[in-house]
Structures are given as structure tokens and as C-alpha cells.
Structure 1
Amino acid sequence: MRRLLAFLFFSAGLLQAAPQPNMVFIMIDDLGWADVGFHGGNAPTPNLDKLAAESLELTQHYVAPVCSPTRTGLMSGRYWSRFGITSPHSGQAMPFDTVTLPSALKSVGYETCLTGKWHLGSKPAWGPNHFGFDHSYGSLGGGVGPYDHRYKEGEYTHTWHRNGELITEEGHVTDLVAKEAVQWIGKRSDKPFFLYVPFTAVHLPVKEPEAWVAKVPAAITGDVPRHYAACIMHMDDAVGQIIAALEKAGKRDNTLLVFTSDNGGSTSENNDRKYPDDNYPTGKITASNAPLRGIKGDLYEGGIRVPTLANWPGTLKAGKFESPAIISDWMPTLCAIAGYEPATDLKWDGISLWPALKDGSELPERLLYLTGPGFRGSAVREGPWKLIVTQAKGQPQSAGPAQLFNLAQDPNETTDLAGKEADKVQHLRTKLAKVAKADKDAQVKK
């Protein structure tokens, strides 16, 4: 017994003495399921392919169907709909007193940095520095033109900033975002850090340097397809630079790196007329979500299930993590790893993935809830079953036409079983009504 007690005390001491890991969270914008080489993409992604081979891949990782909601879920640990955020959002997304992921980590000794796209408040007064980031740089608004760094015409078109001060710079947006990350890593001391890198790539409008377009495989033809492939390759190189910076700083082995996308790939017109004219190639974006059904904006798998990797050398084993997870899980997960314990109930909808990621076990079965743009559609997933409901105007979210899919048997959602599984549809409608009601109960003034 004495030996056992001595071992337990010794083990507890090791856990307490273990250094807090650094955390790098990379989020790509509009990256399709099959846009990466490790999912059969036609644009070479050697850095990501190497990372994937060394990582734990979350094969059923869900996000919102569009950008701002996903970012809200990551920053809060809650479903984005709790804040009324279901569409791209230029106003203030979260109340100032929200305990965010960076503010929680900062409270337990982390240095925090965002370099890239915020899109949770497009004025400096609503920027990242007001929500827990020590340092912030990039686009306060949404995806920007790669050279002029401007968002859509209107009140929020001038959005490029450093620590809340609007600035003007030259250079391609992918290079600038990566450079800021690399330089910030190089300046770190022994304190743990959280670095959030939400690239604007591969969001439209794409327009790549000729040097990158020239590297695109000859089999890819057409102006927009070649620029889109070049954008993917350019992004892949930027991710490689960040990994190299961690290695150079001697911080790679004690860094958890997460790679994901904010939603599925898009097929929208690249030369969007809402953006200031910068001679963008004309044609539709050629993202691929194959073999998944749907695109950005959809509640089908192609809109909400994205390539996701978790990498921590010597700590996480490479392989596949098959349990369904959602973007709102990352705040509880990273907080658990960092040793942050909330002083009050933060009403997280997400759970900590860490025990399961670490030992390779499955997560307990639970309900996942996803809302589409403007609450016009909602989905719930429980076990292999997924219900999508299109909201009827003036009716509750759970009352519209429904589609039902068994993802274990039909992962690409080819067969709607709603007509054959009436009891399952009703069961999930009831679950949807309950979780959707919590949205209204959770609404807070900003």
C-alpha cells in the first residue's frame, strides 16, 4: 500500500510539473474535403500530406456551413446559434464579457495571438484584442482580396489591421499571415502560447502570384481552376513555414497543432462583384467535397464535414479518430489540456475530446446540433442517424420538411429514409425542438 501511495503521489507530481503545451490552431477558409492531397486532391499538398501521415485525423469533424458561426463555436465552446450567429456576420458576434478560448488560456499563463481572419466583429472596437488576444493581425472582416486586403464594398471594406489599428500593407495575404505567425513564434520565450492562424485562403477571390500558378500541374486547366489550385498549394507552403518555425524555435515537440477548415468548399463565382475590382479571374471556384454531398452553406456532409488533423509529436499517435466531433469541442479540449477550470458554468455545448484523442477510445454517443444560414435549416446527428429539417416560414425549426440519413450505411447521403423511418424522424424532431429552444433561452444582448 505504501508503495502504491508513493507511486500515486509521484505520478501526480509529474502531472503538475509537466509543462503546459503550446497550441497552434490553423483554420483554412472554405477548404473542400477533397482539396487536400491526403483526400485525393489534384493540387499537390506535400506539407499537409506529411502532417496527415504523422497526425490523428478526425474523420467526422463538423463545423458550421459558413464562416462566422464556426469561429463563434471555436471561441466560445458553444453552438453558434446560442449567440444568434448563423450567417457571415460583420457586427459584434459575442458579448464583451464572454469567456473566450484565448481569454481562458491567458488566465492560466498563456500568451495569445491571432494572425489572419477574425470575422466576429469587423470594427476595431469589436476586434480580437477585446476577446483575449494579446496580439492580433489581419482581417477584422471576412475573406479579403489577396493584394488589396479589402473586404466587400461598404462599411467594412477597410479591414486590415494590427492590434486594432487599421493599416495599409503590400504583399499577398497568404504570405503576410504566415510571416506574422512565423515571426511571432520566433519571439516567444518559455511561456506557453496559443497561436490561432485563420487563413483567408482558399476563400474567393483567388488571384495567385504567377510563380505559384506556374507550379500547378498541367492537367489542371482553365484560369480559375489553376488559380484555385495555386491558392491551395500556396496555403500548404505557408503551413509548412509555420511547422518549420516551431522546429527552429525548439518548440515542436511540446506543441499541439490542429488543422481544420471553417466549412466545406465553395463553387461560387470567383469575381464576386461585391468585392472591389482587382482584375480577378472570372469563373466558378472549383472546390471539391467529393465524395460527400453538398457545398458551403449546406447542411449536407459536404458543407459541414471538413479535413481535420491533430498533431502532437510523442503524445498523440497517428491514425484515425472516427467518433463524431464538432468545432465547439475544441475550447473544452484545449482548456482541459492547459489546466483551465471555469470558475462558473460557461454552458459549453462542446465536450473535451482529450481523453479519447489520447487513448484512442470512442466518445460517448451524444446529440450534435447544427444550424444553417439564417436558421433556414437545422440538423441533428445522434449515432449514425442524421436529420435535416428545412424550416417552414413562421414555424419552429423542427416543423419543416425533413430528410433522414443513416451515415454509417450511407455516408454520402444518397438515400433519404424519412419516408421509411417515421419513428426515427419523430424522435429526432423532438430532440431538435428541445435543443433549438435552448437557443432562445441563451440569447444575450451584445
Structure 2
Amino acid sequence: EGHANPVELWHNDDEISSQLKGCYTADLFTAKTKQFLVDHQSQSADEPFFLFLSYDTPHAAIQYPAAPYPEGMGVKGGVQWLGEKDRMINTVGPIDSYKHPDYANQGWTDAEVRFATSVRRLDDLMGDLLQTLRDLKMDENTLVVFSSDNGPHSESYIRNVNYNPTSFQSYGPFDGMKRDCYEGGIRVPTIAWWPGKIAPGINQNHSQFHDWLTTFADLAGAAVPARADGVSLVPTLLKNGEQAAPTTYVEYFNGGKTPNYEDYEPSRRGARRGQMQAIFVDGYKGVRHNIQSHADPFEIYDLAKDPGEANNLAGTSPEMKSLQQRMHDRVLQLRSANATAERPYDDEPIPADDSLDADAPMLVTYCPTKTSLVSRLDPAQSTKVDIEEIDLAEAVRSAGKGNARVQTVLNVAKTGRYEMRLTATGDAVLRLHDAALIDTTGESNTDASVEVTLEAGTHPVDMIVRLAGNDSVPALELNELPDAPKQSRKPAKKKRKSK
């Protein structure tokens, strides 16, 4: 009853939930996806497509399907889209009624049968989709990626039905689950399927969801947005070329505790989560829970040898002490503070990079493009601009449409609070170290500023600006701010100039 309130479901501009009586959402979404594939192949087979299918099964609403899975799979079988009110798909039936017979008489709890049935349903649906691609002769030209958003859950929205992932040890050999930053909470299976292109095998290297945007753009030959944080995983998928190291970073807050499961390390059972953080550096994972200040040490694990995170290497050798410091520095150099999600380390000075040459000349690179997107530069089409030999303002105005990349070193005289202000007539994305601090995408004639705490020394700046052929030279200012009581950094703010 607590989960039976009306839920809105929309198709484009139409709210259609009243037409969906007896539809199990996983069946509904799959049937509509299959129909999309059939229509695409018949109407626009030469056009590429991107399809994002987000299942809500399994989840805390662990309801049974409304009917058995239909015979067959693919274009002629399996779930089918009918498109009629109260008969939108071919598996309409009594809500929360179908227990899979393989699990109904195992002596399991109702919650366990529900969970197993929903996972089995998802397996049937994915097989149905892949067979549809085969039937339409689309399989060898379509990359399918299947993944999950977090580790297993313990919630149930159904009264008197309590589910725990201990039932099937859904966290595998790891400690932690949903809302933990240990491996059981953040390591999820990801399957990439592309017949004839991706060979069978397992890759244990870490990556994160933001790497897929860059990967898809790479495969499609499209421009990668400058704001994208990921690297292309094409070398890993196709075993072609050298794989760039992904940035894998997590920060999260939860007021609860890790469950007191006997499978977990004793120190983690019932441990407070609080402010959490995980970072991968030089092949090791650093993780910390219930963070009180940036001085709190990371636990350090070698996941290749210790996937269960049982052997904390922090402080065990000079190398691990050095790695501890690099992890502390790295998290500050790649994250951006957010006033709506305050962290204990928001006001820590961003560490300088002593390896940089303080007198290094500014490097400007230009790449023509037809897209209106501020995007990463294509090395094959980019040219270096000799700013000492030309009038930069004239060069910007005559460059035509394209993206200019400016790389320089910021010299900070003393540790303190600063305002970074960017003035540009086009879209721009500015990074300090690896942190995207300013993004004016979608704005025009803008000033954008952000307040940061910087350590004295040298800091790398990497900025990409979209040029339209009539731009003025972008300007970047660094202004020292007066000392103030500690407070969270303000997010980047944008204001439109008057014409």
C-alpha cells in the first residue's frame, strides 16, 4: 500500500500512466525499445542512434512481474509493444502475481523469491534485446553496454517483506553495499557486447561512468565536450592502442552505518559512514569513511591482491607514506566544491605542483570545427599558435569557428583565498589541475568567477574556448581575497553582460 500511490510516467509530452494498467515496467521499457529498433531499421537504417535504457528492476520495489515471459525472443517473440490502452504490451496481467517456477519451491523467503524472479526477468529481457539486434542484422554494428549504478541494496517498499543482500551474498567477495565506498558499494559489473569487435574476456582495471561519454564520442568520430572528465576506453575494448589511465573518484555522504554482516571485516560492521571518499592513485585504492578533516588518513588497498580490502597498507612503508600524501593532494586537485554538498575539505588549499616551470611560456592551440560545442581539440587537425609572432586579438577575430586551447602556469605568491575570473565572449571550460572550476557552456558574453583556496607555488591552467570568428581575446584574472572565516567555497557563478 505504501508504494501504490499514482506514479507519473510520460511519453514525450503525454502523461500515460492511466493507460498502463498491469504493465511491469521492465517489460514495458523493453517492448518500447524493441519497437524503436524495428522502426529505426525500417525507416532510417543508415542513421546512427544512441539509446539509453534505464531499468528500475531490481530495486526496493521488488514486485513480481504480471505474467510469465512470452515464448521466443527477438522480433517475432518475447515481449511485444501493442500500443493499446490497458493493453500496451503483451504481458499485461494481475499486478505482483508471477513467481518464477524455478524459485517458487526452493524454501526461500518471499523476499528472496521476489529478488531472484526480478533478476531472472532482467536476464530474459536483455537476451530478448540482443536477439532483436541479431534479427534486424544490427548486432555487428551496435555496441551494447550493460552496467549498474551501485552495489546491492537492503530496502523493500513492500510491507512485511524485508530483503537483505546476505541472502545471495550479492556483494560477492567484497565488503560493503549500496551507500558504502568500499568495493561492495562502488564496484559493479559492466558488460560490453559487440560481436566481431570485442573479444570475450575480463578486464579488472578500474574506470567510471564518465569514461563512457568519451568512449562513445571516440567510436562515433564525434567531438568530445570540453567538460567531459573521462578517457576513451576504446583501447581496452578493442585491444587497440594504449589505454589512458582513467580518473576514478567518489565522494558521498550518508548518515547511516555499514550493516553488521558477519561476512564483513569486524572493523567495518556497523561502522558509521558519514562523509566518505575513494580515490585510485598509482594502482592503489584510497578510501576513508566518517571524515572529520582533510588530515584524516586514507586506508590504502592493493585491490589486485586484496579485493576484499582486508589488508590496510597505510603507513606500512616509506612508499605507502608517500602515496598517502599523493592521495591527499590528488583529491584536492581534481574535485570541485559544491555549496549544496559541503565537505570537510572544501576550504583546504589546492596543492601546488612543484614540477612545473614557473617561467614556461603560454601554449595556445587552435582547431577548426563545424560544431557549436566547446570541445576537446582533435590533435590531427590542431595547430600551435605562435603568440609571440602575431597579434593575438586579430588572430582570434580572424580564426573562424573553432576551439582554442590555452595552457599556462599560474604563479601564486602566497597561500590564501583567491578569485579566478574569466571573461570570454564564447563558451569556455577552465580547469585548474584536473578540477573543472569554470564552465560557461550555453552562456554568451559572460563573466564567470569562482573562489578557491590556493597553496603558494605553481598551478597548471588548461582552458578551452569556443571561437565564432568575431571574438575578443579571453581574459583570466587572479585576484587575492581578504582573509575571512572558514566557509565552503562558492560554486562558479555566471552573470550576463549587458550588450
Q: TM-score, normalised by structure 1?
A: 0.58
SS in 2 for 1:159: coil
Task: Tell me the percent identity.
Answer: 27
Structure 1 position 220, deviation (Å)? 5.8
Match of 2:111 among 212, 218, 224: 224
Counterpart of 1:257 in structure 2: which amino acid?
V
Partner of 2:332: 433
Structure 1 position 164, deviation (Å)? 4.0
SS in 2 for 1:321: coil
Match of 2:251 among 371, 384, 399: 371
Say if 1:263 and 1:303, in contact at 8 Å, map to a contact too: yes
Partner of 1:283: 162
Partner of 2:149: 262
Q: Where in structure 2 are the equivalents of 1:269-308 lying within 5 Å?
A: 270-271=156-157, 280=159, 282-286=161-165, 288-308=170-190
Relative to structure 1, is the Cα distance of residues 331 and 365 closer, same or farther in structure 2, using a 3 angstrom cutoff? closer
Partner of 2:122: 235
Partner of 1:310: 192
Say if 1:301 and 1:412, in contact at 8 Å, map to a contact too: yes
Q: Deviations over 1:136-176 (max 9, x none)?
A: xxxxxxxx96xx5x6xxxxxx73311114322122111111
Say if 2:298 and 2:314, in contact at 8 Å, map to a contact too: yes
Partner of 1:100: none
Counterpart of 1:161 in structure 2: which amino acid?
W
Match of 2:207 among 311, 314, 325: 325
Say if 2:231 and 2:246, in contact at 8 Å, map to a contact too: no
Relative to structure 1, is the Cα distance of residues 399 and 167 closer, same or farther in structure 2, using a 3 angstrom cutoff? farther
Measured in 2, the distance between the counterparts of 1:385 and 1:204 equals 33
Relative to structure 1, is the Cα distance of residues 350 and 263 closer, same or farther in structure 2, using a 3 angstrom cutoff? same
1:248 and 2:97 aligned: no
Structure 1 position 391, deviation (Å)? 5.7
Say if 1:264 and 1:295, in contact at 8 Å, map to a contact too: yes
Structure 1 position 284, deviation (Å)? 2.1
Counterpart of 2:286 in structure 1: which amino acid?
L
Partner of 2:98: 211
Partner of 1:386: 285
Q: Deviations over 1:19-38 (max 9, x none)?
A: xxxxxxxxxxxxxxxxxxxx
Query: Which structure has more RCO (C-alpha within 8 Å, separation ≥ 6)?
Result: 1
Relative to structure 1, is the Cα distance of residues 445 and 162 closer, same or farther in structure 2, using a 3 angstrom cutoff? farther
Structure 1 position 310, deviation (Å)? 0.8
Match of 1:405 among 292, 301, 308: 301
Measured in 2, the distance between the counterparts of 1:281 and 1:215 equals 23
Say if 1:264 and 1:306, in contact at 8 Å, map to a contact too: yes
Partner of 2:82: none
Measured in 1, the distance between the counterparts of 2:107 and 2:277 equals 36
Structure 1 position 386, deviation (Å)? 0.8
More helix by share: 1
Structure 1 position 417, deviation (Å)? 2.0
Match of 2:32 among 157, 176, 180: 180
Say if 2:231 and 2:244, in contact at 8 Å, map to a contact too: no
Relative to structure 1, is the Cα distance of residues 417 and 336 closer, same or farther in structure 2, using a 3 angstrom cutoff? same
Structure 1 position 323, deviation (Å)? 2.5
Relative to structure 1, is the Cα distance of residues 255 and 405 closer, same or farther in structure 2, using a 3 angstrom cutoff? same
SS in 1 for 2:145: strand
Measured in 1, the distance between the counterparts of 2:183 and 2:240 equals 24
Counterpart of 2:14 in structure 1: which amino acid?
E
Relative to structure 1, is the Cα distance of residues 200 and 389 closer, same or farther in structure 2, using a 3 angstrom cutoff? same
Q: Where in structure 2 are the equivalents of 1:77-96 lying within 5 Å?
A: none
Q: What is the Cα-based RMSD across aligned positions, in Å?
A: 2.6
Measured in 2, the distance between the counterparts of 1:238 and 1:220 equals 26
Q: Deviations over 1:385-405 (max 9, x none)?
A: 111133645x4xx43353111
Partner of 2:90: none
Counterpart of 1:407 in structure 2: which amino acid?
L
Say if 1:202 and 1:232, in contact at 8 Å, map to a contact too: yes
Partner of 1:353: 233
Say if 2:197 and 2:238, in contact at 8 Å, map to a contact too: yes
Relative to structure 1, is the Cα distance of residues 204 and 164 closer, same or farther in structure 2, using a 3 angstrom cutoff? farther
Say if 1:321 and 1:360, in contact at 8 Å, map to a contact too: no
Q: Where in structure 2 are the equivalents of 1:48-87 lying within 5 Å?
A: none
Relative to structure 1, is the Cα distance of residues 297 and 166 closer, same or farther in structure 2, using a 3 angstrom cutoff? same
Measured in 1, the distance between the counterparts of 2:200 and 2:132 equals 22
Measured in 2, the distance between the counterparts of 1:220 and 1:364 equals 49
Relative to structure 1, is the Cα distance of residues 232 and 213 closer, same or farther in structure 2, using a 3 angstrom cutoff? same
Q: Deviations over 1:236-282 (max 9, x none)?
A: 111112112212222112111111111111123x13xxxxxxx5551
Measured in 1, the distance between the counterparts of 2:247 and 2:50 equals 29
Relative to structure 1, is the Cα distance of residues 223 and 243 closer, same or farther in structure 2, using a 3 angstrom cutoff? same
Match of 2:223 among 341, 344, 355: 341
Relative to structure 1, is the Cα distance of residues 409 and 402 closer, same or farther in structure 2, using a 3 angstrom cutoff? same
Q: Deviations over 1:190-245 (max 9, x none)?
A: 12211111100111110103433333264460010110000100111111121122
The structure whose Rg is larger is 2
Partner of 2:467: none
Counterpart of 2:329 in structure 1: which amino acid?
T
SS in 1 for 2:219: helix
SS in 2 for 1:372: strand
SS in 2 for 1:194: coil
Structure 1 position 358, deviation (Å)? 0.8
Partner of 2:411: none
Counterpart of 1:283 in structure 2: which amino acid?
N
- Give the unaligned 5+ runs of structure 2: 66-96, 255-273, 337-434, 440-490, 495-499
Relative to structure 1, is the Cα distance of residues 401 and 309 closer, same or farther in structure 2, using a 3 angstrom cutoff? same
Say if 1:368 and 1:380, in contact at 8 Å, map to a contact too: yes
- Give the unaligned 5+ runs of structure 1: 1-143, 151-156, 272-278
Relative to structure 1, is the Cα distance of residues 258 and 444 closer, same or farther in structure 2, using a 3 angstrom cutoff? farther
Q: Deviations over 1:286-332 (max 9, x none)?
A: 36111111101111111111111111111111112232221111011
Relative to structure 1, is the Cα distance of residues 330 and 309 closer, same or farther in structure 2, using a 3 angstrom cutoff? same
Structure 1 position 361, deviation (Å)? 6.2
Structure 1 position 179, deviation (Å)? 1.0
1:416 and 2:416 aligned: no
